[in-house]
Every structure is written in structure tokens, then in C-alpha cells.
Structure 1
């Protein structure tokens, strides 16, 4: 424990004031004094005392919301079918599914035998009665007993159906313990592997399992082969020494090949091995080339084996920015020919190969799209024109493959949803076009989809770029220009990093805001992937500020259009979206009456400067390398939220973090809030809430998560003025 000073005093509004311990940081001739770097050590009792004091302060100043929180929790619970069952998914000789039970935090994972191998119709969902022959693979509630936190990593059954490999994390640091269960006897094997990365992949002979471990920076870097039920030492089959690269393990959809995927933010390489030769050597499909990304799928076309390679390599002297697909014989993948060419603005994301179909997933106009080629109707290798798009009626929607475990499936399952429609799982007969609804997400109570409206608007950035906005509201909340329209309470959500796309999706908890008159807006800002690779490229590294200004311009658009006012608008974002929140607080504190930042990456420059921290080096391709590049250093310093907190009238801010988060350390939120509380010139409350037994995803268990969501929504409703507290 440091003896420099007591850890806390009292600051503005009675907030716990962190002591100041000046520490110098010098890079590229620039010396910075950091008064709160001491908050980095979670083993320091003074750090824990500061977090506890902040939690008490937050609890005190949100106590008036307790009744509202209870109401919202009750609404979420009353709308949720607590005892439920997923649609069974076929794999090998069994149907697999999950169950939830009223009063239990976690799911129970089950299966039942297939009676008729030629019948692909799943058993009818039975919420509270077991299916014939049902057996429990894993009861997560039993596994979680006695722990404050629980997360399931791997959950995979061997090809013969006899063995289960599963892994658990009971701390929140994303280091999992891998175990094995004999499903014929229900007994656990003595094989236990600690500190794995979470996943597991079976070989075709069901004797071997491949898993990954992580390095000191939490980067998956090594693949191991484990021989089930023996004392044979595990074999290291792959190691990636370059700290910029993340290692993943999986199989092709056909299960014919094991795959190791190695990727940085801008470069990738894939290695394959026949699944029936698990002790063989993995071979590279194509050598890594800096700036070239690719992934691989196995397809059987006309009785021949091919690799389909989705890539952004150059063709005809021009880079395939939005990706293209090549086809190559498995025996010699270097002999590649174009399969689907590059089309600017049509971002190819993936291709899935089944026995009878190829399914292309891509996005256009900020929405996901899916097209299917029926191999039974095609003589030879398909061309682009053979892919038929799956039609969707809604203006805003999500669509994608879901639950297709069998390569030989005669029908394809898709997940569909929108902001106002509960998610649906349907099965498509490709031959006839017939769609059969297998399940719609149940929403209990008086929910009526016709009570809600979703729409698309476009804001304009300062440089003229058009920014898509997705807007959701109750129908009785009039839009600008409609009769009776007036500014409404509004939540503006954003992310804008890692080429992540936030597609329209239904939320039961969001109804508690919409039904109180709040308009929900999702800003699809640059740095995300909604509008293709260019959208991402113009919101990262030395163009990162576009992400922040896009969000501010989106907020100003909503005010100018008459949707809302600054006194009624709250901004929300998490993780890299928390960085967005911190930057926006510095850029436009007057635009919002509240900012909610979850696990916020707000001390970005300090973190990216330190290669010893988890995942820092691999992040240099996303943000730039300020440690070695003075231009990047200066640019990041100009926007990093913590660096730029100054004497401004900040709006009310609620920051949430987790003590065991390994992706965005709790330190970032703690330092940011300490500095905000010290320098803000307004009397608005700056609050910090730290989960002391959780990781990057927050608390575990659905009831705990509902309580957390209710806490957030209650604060949002207060700050938008949607309720009087």
C-alpha cells in the first residue's frame, strides 16, 4: 500500500476524491504527468477502497431509482418466457437443444436421439416436459453453484456422440478450464486442462481434441492436441510467436478439414489438416502477405473438392477492398481462379458450403444480405448469377444462417429479426421457396408489433459523408413533421470500431424505454462495417476522429430535425464504444444530458503505449502504434478521452466497469472518473460502478443481467426526462 496520501478525500458533490500521485510518462520527447496511474493495481487495498467508495457514492445517488429499477426488472421478467426451449438442431444421431427454467440463472443443455434418420423435421418444442429419450449434457446451473460469476466456453460433442468437451470460467478473466464427460456413463474423465482460451475441436476419430492456450497478454497463441483418456502429454501442434496475430481453431462446415486461422487486424493466414488425420501436419492454404486477409471454406462441387477463399487481395492491379472469392482445388490451393468478383459497396463477409447449397453472406446499404446457389441445379462450378437473394419485406432487418449443424441438410435454417419484430427461426426449402416458421421469440404480456415503428434517416457529417441512422419508437410518439410532433426523450447509441456492424435486432428490455416515450437511435458511424470496408478504413488509425465527429453530427442532426433536445438526449456506448463516449464528452458536453459508458476504453493512449498489457500489440493495427510512431502518438493523444479531460461543464456520466475484465482494464474507467470528478466545472454527477466479480461482459446469469439492464435503463429514463423521479 502506498503511503503517499490517504486514497480518498471528498470532492465536488461529495464524490470520493482520489489521491494524486504524479507519475511521469515520456514518449517522443513529450512528458506527461499522470496523477491517477496508481489506480492500476487491483491487488492494492487502496485501489479496492477507492472502487468501493465510488460504488457507495453511486448507490447513494441512484437510490431514488430503486422503485423504477424494480418496475423495469419486473417488466423484463414478465415479458420473458422463463421456462423455454430452443428448437432442436440435428447433429449426427441426435437432436440438440437448450432449456431454461423459471428461477434458474443459466441454461440446461440437452439432446434426444433421432428416431427416423430420413426425417429432418425437428421434434416439437416442449417447454416443461422432456422429449423422448432426453438426456442432459450439461446443467450450467449446477456447474455455476457456489460461484459469483460463471461463463461457459466450449460445449462440443464428439462426432460419434460419446464424449462432451466443455470449459468454464468462474472468475471473468476469460481463462477457461477444459473438462471431458463420457456421455455413455455420465462420468467425468480425470483429464482437466486449466487456462485454455475457451474453445475445443474434435478430430474425426473422436480420440483427439484440439484446444488453445493464451500468452501473458491474453492472446491465443498456441494450439494443442489432447489424446482423450490417456496420460500421453499434450502435443503442441501450432505456435504463433508474432504478438500481432490471434490464433483460432475450427473445422470446415463439412467437418472434412480441421482449420487453424491466424489473423491480425489486417493480415491473415489459414492452415488445414484432414480431420481423419489428426496427428498429421497442418499446411498453409496461402502464405500471409501484409495487408491481405482471407478465410477458407471447403466445398464439394461435381464430386470434386475445392477451397473457396474469401479475400481482399489485388486483382488486375486493384485491391478487392470489399472482398472477392476465389476457388481452388484442395490438392493445390495455389491454383486459384476467380469465383465471385469484387464489387465496390457490396461487402462480402462469408460463404458457407453445404452438400447441396452454397450460401453467400454480404452486406449492402448498411444491411445484411444472403444469397443461395442450389448446386443440384447447376452443371459445373456456379457463377455469380446462380446466387439468388433471400427476399425480406422490412426496410430494416437482420438475416443470417442459424443452427445448420449438418452439412447434408436438405433445408436451410435462417435467423430473422428487426428492431420491432421478435427474432424468428425459419426453415427454407430452397427448391420451392417455402418458408416454415420454426419459432418466434416469445414476448409475453400485451406486446403488439403494430405499436412500434422503425425507420432509416441519414445525417450529414461535416465532410459531407452521409451517416445512416436507425430509429425506433412507439407509433404514438410522433416523428418530426407528423401531427402533434414535439421533441422526445432519446437514446443515441454508437460503437464504430473493428468493422463491427450493429444490425437491427429486437430487445425485450428496450420496450421499457420505448413504452415510456423514449426514441432509440442507432448511429452507424464510421469505424464500423455497416457500409463496407471503406466505412471501416475511414474510421480507424489516423482517421479515427471521424468516428467521434460522426456521432456528434448524428446527435446534432436529431436536434435540428426536431426529434429531441440536448436536455432530453442521452448517449450510450460500451468497450470501444466507451472510447467514443469519452471522446464525445470532451467534444460536445453540451449536446447530451447524460452519457452511459460501459467498460469504456477511455485511457486508450496509455494502454496502447504499453505492450505488456493484455492485447495491446494486436491492437496496433486498429489504432496505430504510438510507441514507435510519433505521428500516431500525437494523433492518439489529441483524442484519447482521459488525456483530454479538462475544465469543462461535463454532463451527468455513468461509467460501468468490471474488476476482472481482461479486455478493457477497470483502471481505465477508474482513472477517467477520478479526473472527471476533479476537473468538471458543472455540478452534474459523475458516477462509477464497478462489478467486483465479473469480466468484460459484465455480470453473469440472466436475472443478474436483467437487474443490471434495469439499473442502466432507469438512469437513462431519468436523464432523458422520460420519467420524474
Structure 2
């Protein structure tokens, strides 16, 4: 087969019947990645995509070099104090991965570190470059140090399937311990004395359902199972309160949670339940001296904050009442104060609860921004470390002084090449959906950009996940070429509170898609945008796949990254990763005929038909355990066979997972590939060309 001719997937009759409905899924054979025919087909798809984008090679290289030239390749983070050490990470030019380090805390103020010049006394904890070796993929799942700073637990993944191997290092001697535990999940927690490490493992459906206790120096075969979750809707996790006084074992579904705690001084003891699970009630806690803070939604859709005594954590006394306009997200307890992270009017904020005096909210320099507590490991402190950014302000680290009430800028990520935030502008617009709902839109462009401008419209809209205003170095390559970048904060996300999420899930899921189309129409009709390229990943890939069916004429192109486009078939199969857990988000089409009919009416794969679609680029990874690779593969095959328009391109990372390629230079090249395709689509829509050859 010539690489400039699209691959044709063979059709193998395969019928399924649910609720009296019989459906043909002629591409289901592509779900078997152990079949040589499947791999051959994927390789043919990659060859075809390479051929169809060959004329963009120079543009891809230009964009890659722009990203690289704007990035401070040799850099380091702001040191964070914990115990007797300052902890930080650094990167080195030419190296793919970060390096985790620490220095003895000889002063109360952070040491003056210089990028590229290791300090005297620096101890390297984890060098991702050495650990990765020649592996094409590498990721760290957890990195956790004992309270006394003596032992390091870390886990690694070399395939992208998110199954990690847990190892331990003695930081005093530098020696690796014999203890090694395969197939663990993210996270973990040390006991107070560092004698025990708690970790979680997954079942065959990739659900973390067990928590184990490993005693350092003992065979892993003797590890004790301390908890097993039998309800397939629930995930489990293990961590510590910020005070490190209590181990916290959490079990949660999409709508319900249950927390168990154990004094970290007694790791072989029994965990006790804070409050038994009740359907629809979610809660989490943190420890502060003689009480707990409890964040919960019992009778409080947007959550409320309570306190509870140490000896009776189920007795909740209201502290911050529920507000319809404010979604409480998290609480972090310190020895003398607490910080409450919240969301209001689509933006994040932080409320300080001082030990004495009235609560107050921190003021930030820009109206459109994102801010959250970050990097606060010390329990005894008079400062609050914050992460801050906007669509024009690079990621920044602040300390908020609780005495002076001043924000102290510690570091702003350098953007090389003369970047000046004053050259760009950000806006908040509101589109109106068909049912009258006002949908917020975040917009950024370079000043002087001519309207209407080619636009990338990004969206997600699931799991109450919010796409907050954020900065992107790579995005500058679009903005400087006259693009507008916009985020549609559609229902199903969490930008406007819990009600916003509930209006875009289950049997209201279509609001997510119609909101996105309404935003696209608004941007065009109000003069912001000419040709619009829709972009989304994972559940956002479902979004852009659905709108391609719903309003193909509204878009000049669609980029769908690891897209959940075969949602109905996946959610019908409880043996697949995450399916049962997802029933609280999408509904249960296996047992509910109404849910089945509703999902079938919007799932992208099921609704491809004989119409003209915009050009589509789908990107996936062979080892993805969250959205299996075959969803976009089947979708593209059906688009080619059934519809008109396109072209329909598929790019498969053959050695990566849900997040794509792991090394930073590899990730930049992948982003350059995607941005070059977007630029080409916009140019084609405008009757121009971004390169030579076929477009």
C-alpha cells in the first residue's frame, strides 16, 4: 500500500444487541493489539499521516525551535523547606527529564541557587535522565521521603501503561534497598518513623482497590493488605494529613466518599472510619492541632467547611456555610492558620482562616487568573506558598506573608526571546447557549491581531474538571502568527460550581456539546474569529468528536487527542478499565435502556454518517490505559468509509500512554506537529498555503 493513499480497514461483521437494539461494529477487531494485523494497520496509518503532513516538515521544525528558544532549558524551581532540607528540582539543557535535589537547610531563607551550577552539598535524589536510560518512555509515579529525610520511596513506569515499580533508597548511604514492589499505583505514604510504607495496587480493570503496608527490610511477600474495596465504583488512595500526624485512606466514587484514618505513629494499627459512606455525600479532611477540618457536601451542593474533634471526627460543626456562588475545593491546615481554595464566577481564589481575627481573601493582580496553594510541606510557617498564572502571565511562585498581607514574588518562569506580557491581551466573553445559559469564554491574542482571526477553540467539559486561565509557551507560536486562542468553559466542567458540572453529565451530557457550538457561533458572530479549529483531549476528545457530528460546518478542523470517541461501546463493557467507575459520570447503558439510547444519540463513533466533515487529526497512544487506542482508530476508519470531507488523519504513539511522549523535547516536537497542522488547516480555510505539496 502506498503511504500517500489512506489505509482501508477491513470490515469484520460483529454485531451486538442491547435493549433490543442490534448494532454492527465492523471495526471491533482493531481492539486486539496483539494481532499482527492490528499493528500493521496502525503502522500504515502512521505512514499515511507522515505522507500527508510531509509538506509541513519545515514549519514543524520552525515551531519546535521557537518553543525551544523561548524555554529556559537549564532552570530550577524555588526551593521548598521541609525539616532540615531545602528541596528543589532542576533541568539541564539537552536533557529530557528533570532532576530532583536537596540541600541542607543551613539558613532560614532559601539559598541563592544559580541554574546550571550545582551548589556545594547538593544531593541528587532522582535524576530522570539516568533512570530513563535509553527507554523511549519514562515516568515517575511517586516520590516520597520519610519525615526524618533518611529514606526515599519512588516508582517508575517505562511503557506508559501506568503500572509502576516501587523502589527504596537510603539517602544517607546512597544505597538502593533490596525492597522492590512491581505493579503499584500512583502515590503512597510513610509512617511517622519511616518503618512502613503504604501503597495501592489495581485490579484488572485498572482500578486502585487495595492498600498494602510494607515494612522496610522485609520480603514483599509479607506485605499486609490493610484495605480492599469491593465496590467497583470506588477508587482507593493513601496519603497523609499536612501535619503528617495521620495516615488517610480514602475510598471514593464519582459521587460518594469514605475516609479512614490511622495515627501515623502506629502503622500496624487499624484504620478507623471517619463517617460511613452515604450515597451522594463527599468529604475530605485535614488535621489542625486539636481538631480536623472537614470539607463536605452534605446538604451543601457547592460544599461547606466544618470542624470536628480528634476523638469524634464524625461530629461536624459548621465553620463556612454553603454558598450558591462559591464552590469550595480544598482546605490546607497549618499550625496557626488554614487556607481554603475556592472557585467563584469561573475563577479561583484563596481564603485565609487566621488563628485569630476574621477570615479574608487574597487579592491578585489580574482579574483573569488562576491561583492555588502549592508547595507548602511545612506545618509551622508564617507564609503561604502559591502558584499563579494567567493567559499572559507565565507560571509564577509567590509567598503570601500572613503578617504583612503582602504577595512576594519568588520566581516567574522565564520566557526567552523578548517576551513581554504587555504585547498580549486576555478577555472574558460570555456566549449564550440555546437554553439561555451564559457560557464563559477565556480569550487571549496578541495586541494588534486583525479580526476576525483564525482561532483555536479548546474545551473539556467532564468530571467537574475546570480549564483555568493558563499560560503556554507553545501557544505563542500561534498568537504571533495572528491566531486567537479561546477556552470554552462548557457545562460538565466545574468552572461555575457543582451545578455547572451536574448540568453536563448523565442525561444532560449534550449540554456540553451544544455549549461548545454556541461558543463557536458567538466567536464568529461577534467578530472574534474566522476559521475555528476545535481542540480537545480525552473527554475533551469526545467533546470535539461530538461537535464534529453536531455542527461540522462550524469548524475548519478538529484536533482530537486520546479521544473518548467510542464511549458507548466502552461503557457497555464492564471488563474494560474504568468502565464501572464511569457509570456515575455517563450513566449505565448496560442496564438502563434510557441511558443506552441517550449515549447512542451523541457518541461520535455511533453517529458518523454520510456528510461533509472538516479535516480531523486524531492522536492516540498504544499503551493508553485510560482511553484505549482503538477508540480513535475505529472512529477514523469509519469516517473514511462512511463520510465525506476530511482528510482524516491518525497518529499513534507506539510506545506511550495517555499523556503522550514523556521527554520534554519529544513533547515539544509532538506539539509542534499538532500546531503546524492547525496552522495549515487555518491557512487552507483562508485559501492560503503553509507549505508545498498536498494539503
Q: What is the SS of the residue equivalent to 1:16?
A: coil
CA contact (8 A) 2:567 2:603 kept: yes
In structure 2, which of residues 682, 690, 695 is the aligned counterpart of residue 720 of structure 1?
682
Gaps of 5+ in 2: none
- TM-score scaled by structure 1? 0.93
| Superposition map of 1:75-86 within 5 A | 75-86=66-77
Report the counterpart of residue 476 of structure 2 in structure 1.
511
Give 2:384's aligned residue: 412
Instruction: Indicate if the aligned counterparts of 2:284 and 2:294 stay in contact, CA closer than 8 A.
Output: yes
Equivalent residues in 2 for 1:489-638, closer than 5 Å: 489-565=454-530, 568-638=531-601
Report 1:30-41 matches (<5 A). 30-41=21-32
Distance 2:527 2:18 in 1: 46
**Pairing 1:17–2:5 present:** no
C-alpha distance in 1 between matches for 2:602 and 2:113: 52
Shift of 1:421: 0.7
Partner of 1:442: 414
Residue matched to 1:285: 274
Deviations 1:617-667 (A, max 9, x none): 000000000000000000000001100001010110000000000000001
3-state DSSP of counterpart to 1:18: coil
Alpha-carbon distance in 2 for matches of 1:175, 1:221: 14
Aligned counterpart, 2:656: 694
The Cα shift of 1:16 comes to 0.5
8 Å CA contact 1:443–1:508 kept in 2: the answer is yes
1:553 and 1:434 map into 2 onto residues whose CA distance is 41
Determine the C-alpha separation between the residues in 1 that align with 2:335 and 2:117: 34
Alignment partner of 1:110 is 2:95: no
User: C-alpha separation between the residues in 1 aligned to 2:72 and 2:313?
Assistant: 49
The answer (yes or no) to whether the contact 1:349–1:361 under 8 Å persists in 2 is: yes
Do 2:533 and 2:557's aligned partners in 1 also have CA atoms closer than 8 Å? yes
The correspondence for 1:334, drawn from 294, 314, 327, is 314
Partners of 1:182 and 1:691 in 2: CA distance: 36
Give SS of 2:529's match: coil
Q: In structure 2, which of residues 170, 175, 187 is the aligned counterpart of residue 199 of structure 1?
A: 187
Whole-angstrom CA distance in 2 between matches of 1:286 and 1:543: 31
Q: State the Cα distance separating 1:10 from its structure 2 match.
A: 8.7
Spell out, residue by residue over 1:322-353, the C-alpha distance to the aligned partner (whole angstroms, 9 max, x if none): 11112110101222211111111210111111
**In structure 2, distance between residues paired with 1:212 and 1:231:** 17
Give the 3-state SS of the residue equivalent to 1:265 in structure 2. coil
Conserved 8 A contact 1:165-1:181: yes
What is the SS of the residue equivalent to 1:535?
Answer: helix
Q: Is the contact between residue 197 and residue 216 of structure 2 (CA under 8 Å) also seen in structure 1?
A: yes
Is residue 86–residue 125 contact of structure 1 (8 Å, CA) maintained in 2? no
Q: Report the CA distance between 1:306 and its aligned residue.
A: 1.0
Equivalent position to 1:453, from 400, 405, 425: 425
Q: Using the TM superposition, give the Cα deviation of residue 132 of structure 1 relative to its aligned residue in structure 2, in angstroms.
A: 2.9
Normalising by the residue count of structure 2, what TM-score does the alignment of the two structures yield? Answer: 0.97
Contact 1:168-1:198 within 8 A present in 2 as well: no
Q: CA deviation at 1:47?
A: 0.5
The residue number in structure 2 matching 1:62 is: 53
* SS, match of residue 259 in structure 2: strand
Is the counterpart of residue 650 in structure 1 residue 613 in structure 2? Answer: yes
Q: Confirm or deny that 1:217 pairs with 2:205.
A: yes
Q: Aligned partners of 1:132, 1:724: CA distance in 2, in Å?
A: 50
Superposed CA deviations along residues 457-500 of structure 1, whole A, max 9, x for unmatched, are: 0000000000000010001114xxxxxxx311110000000000
Q: Does 1:472 align with 2:472?
A: no
Q: SS at 1:710's partner residue?
A: helix
Contact 1:166–1:179 (Cα < 8 Å) also in 2: yes
Give the match for residue 640 of structure 1.
603
Mapped to 2, the partners of 1:353 and 1:14 lie a distance apart of: 60
1:507 aligned counterpart, secondary structure: coil
> Does 1:398 pair with 2:370?
yes
Alignment partner of 1:709 out of 656, 671, 679: 671
What CA distance in whole angstroms lies between the structure 2 residues aligned with 1:196 and 1:334?
Answer: 31
| Segment drifting more, 401-410 vs 548-557 | 401-410
Which of structure 1's runs of 4+ aligned residues deviate more than 6 A? none
Q: CA deviation at 1:393?
A: 2.7
Tell me the distance in 2 between the aligned counterparts of 1:80 and 1:88: 20
Matched-pair contact (CA < 8 Å) for 1:395–1:455:
no
Over residues 408-440 of structure 1, what are the superposed CA-to-partner deviations in whole Å (9 max), with x where a residue is unaligned? 122111111100011111111111112221111
Residues 371-426 of structure 1: per-residue CA shift (max 9 Å, x gap): 11221x24xxxxxxx22100013121011111111011221111111000111111
Instruction: Please state how far the C-alpha of 1:449 moved relative to its aligned partner.
Output: 0.7
SS of the residue corresponding to residue 643 of structure 1 reads: helix
Contact preservation (8 Å) 1:676, 1:686: yes
Counterpart of 1:672 in structure 2 is 635
Distance 1:353 1:16 in 2: 57
Partner residue of 2:298? Answer: 313
Structure 1 range deviating more: 257-266 or 124-133: 124-133
Select 2:393's aligned residue among 390, 399, 421: 421
Distance of 1:35 and 1:23 partners within structure 2: 6
**Who is 2:263 aligned against?**
274
Q: CA deviation at 1:446?
A: 1.5
Assess if the C-alpha contact under 8 Å between 2:347 and 2:495 holds in 1: yes
Secondary structure at the counterpart of residue 270 of structure 2: coil
Q: 2:625, 2:658 within 8 Å by CA — same for their partners in 1? A: yes
Hey, what's the Cα distance between the residues in 1 that align with 2:295 and 2:426? 33
Note if contact 1:655-1:687 (Cα within 8 Å) is conserved in structure 2: yes
Q: Please give the alpha-carbon distance, in whole angstroms, between the structure 2 residues aligned to 1:88 and 1:618.
A: 38
Helix, strand or coil at the partner of 1:22:
coil
Once residues 394 and 459 of structure 2 are traced to their aligned partners in structure 1, the CA distance between those partners, rounded to angstroms, is: 22
Indicate if the aligned counterparts of 2:382 and 2:403 stay in contact, CA closer than 8 A: no
SS of the residue 2:482 aligns to: coil
Match of 1:148 among 124, 130, 136: 136
Q: CA deviation at 1:160?
A: 1.0
Give 3-state SS (helix, strand or coil) of 1:191's partner: strand
* In 1: Cα distance, 2:315 partner to 2:651 partner: 56
Unaligned runs of 5+ in 1: 1-8, 315-319, 379-385, 479-485
Give the Cα separation in 2 of the matches to 1:334 and 1:217.
32
**Contact 2:441–2:489 (CA<8 Å) still a contact in 1?**
yes
Residue of structure 1 equivalent to 2:41:
50
User: What residue in structure 2 maps to residue 481 of structure 1?
Assistant: none
1:227 is the counterpart of 2:215:
yes
